[in-house]
Structure 1
Amino acid sequence: MKRVIGAGLLLLPLVLSACGPMSLAEAERQCFERARLAKQPRGEVSVGVGSGGRTAAGLELNVSSDFLLGKDPSAVYETCVMNKAGEPPSRPLYARPDWR
């Protein structure tokens, strides 16, 4: 029983650290994707022909609630980064060179 409690106490800092804020860089990376989905849906269509003439088709569409609600991608980005990292983004979304 003491071993179980001792092992639990050793793991407690790891569990609690998972609840804390993430690094600013990681938060910006994750939130950039969320902002992209707020701008417009993303998707892909695939069509192929296999052996024996069999065809296959697929459709994948990602639509976010932020897009459906008409939220500004910049506001989505800033709020997301603040929630994940506990601090504002290092630069606004529209100032990022990779934003189109």
Structure 2
Amino acid sequence: MRLVFALIALLPLIACGPIPRAQAERECLQRARLAEHPRGELGVGLGSGGRRDVFGEITFSNDYLQGKDPSQVYRNCVVQRSGEMPSRPFTSIPASHY
């Protein structure tokens, strides 16, 4: 019975373990991308009866505000999540993969 309780108590720690490097690279790519510069969109719409709509959104990260190097952000994130170095540097990932 104690073994069962001990295993249940360890479950949260198991969830914090490393993830596969490829998965970490995919997850960290967005973070590094936001460290480069803010992202956003702006839209203007015109509806029937002359109704106008304007909307916008801007996303930026603390890494960007702190002036961190996106390559370093990517590398640190991958190592932290997977325990391994990235398979290739951030600068070699084509923009189309963003």
- Are residues 1:83 and 2:80 paired? yes
TM value normalised by structure 2:
0.78
Q: Give the alignment partner of residue 55 of structure 1, picking from 25, 49, 52.
A: 52
Q: Which residue of 2 aligns with 1:32?
A: 29
Output the aligned Cα RMSD.
2.6
Structure 1 portions without partners, runs of 5+: 1-5
TM (norm. structure 1) is: 0.77
2:12 & 2:51 partners in 1: Cα distance? 49
The 1:52–1:89 alpha-carbon spacing in structure 2 relative to 1, beyond 3 Å, is: same
Structure-2 separation of matches of 1:52 and 1:37: 39
SS in 1 for 2:17: coil
Q: What are structure 2's unaligned runs of at least 5 residues?
A: none
Question: Would you say how many aligned residue pairs link Structure 1 and Structure 2?
Answer: 95
Q: 1:43 aligns with which of 36, 40, 51?
A: 40
CA distance in 1, matches of 2:87, 2:41: 31
SS at match of 2:53: strand
In structure 1, what residue type is equivalent to 2:56?
A: L
